[in-house]
Amino acid sequence: MAVINMLQKITKALDEKLFAIGVFMGLSKAFHTVNYQILLSTLVHYGIRDVALNWFNSYLYNRYQYVAVKDVVSSRQKVTCGVPPRIYIRA
């Protein structure tokens, strides 16, 4: 809705021969640099504790990633920041 609203305002301004400026920000990349300790502290601040907090902790820590292209596989590297992507399972 916000994008449609902004587009309507820009279109109206252009129709009325006014100047129009739009500033758009993409936040999807912001999750690539999330510090785990800060994230967990924030969750505690908002009341997430016990089992739920332990779930987030185990989900974030001790994760590894690697790249595989055909028969070539890189070494595993520990992931130290960023929200893990969705998990895809090949059958």
Contact between residue 64 and residue 79 where contact means Cβ atoms under 8 Å apart: yes
Q: Which residue has tokens 């252009």?
A: 14
CA angle in degrees (0–180, nearest 5) for 33-35-41: 145
The whole-model pTM stands at 0.52
Average pLDDT in the 8-36 region?
A: 79
56-74 residue pLDDT tens: 899 888 888 888 888 899 9
Q: Which residue has tokens 């590894």?
A: 64
Per-residue pLDDT at 31 exceeds 80: no
